[in-house]
Amino acid sequence: MEYKLLRLDEVLDRTGYSKSWTYKLIDKGEFPKQVKIGSRSVRFIESEVDEWIEQRINNARCPDNTIN
């Protein structure tokens, strides 16, 4: 299986969130966890970020649903 990996700045561009808010969501288990690819480097799996964004859009359109 192939994965496209995103840098943090790409994730921030897609979500519109700040770095600190993104990491708060990760700590709370509310955002896809990053993948460590080196001693000082992390990436995010594009499909997981896209799915998270899609869930937010769907929940906004159907307010009776709870955010996962």
pLDDT value of position 62 = 87
pLDDT value of position 65 = 58
pLDDT value of position 57 = 94
pLDDT value of position 66 = 58
What b/e string do you get for 52-68 counting C-beta neighbours within 10 Å, with b at 16 or more? beeeeeeeeeeeeeeee
Q: Which domains does the chain have, with CATH numbers?
A: 5-61 (1.10.238)
pLDDT value of position 1 = 84
pLDDT value of position 67 = 57
Q: pLDDT by residue (tens digit) across 13-68?
A: 999 999 999 999 999 999 999 999 999 999 999 999 999 999 999 999 987 755 55
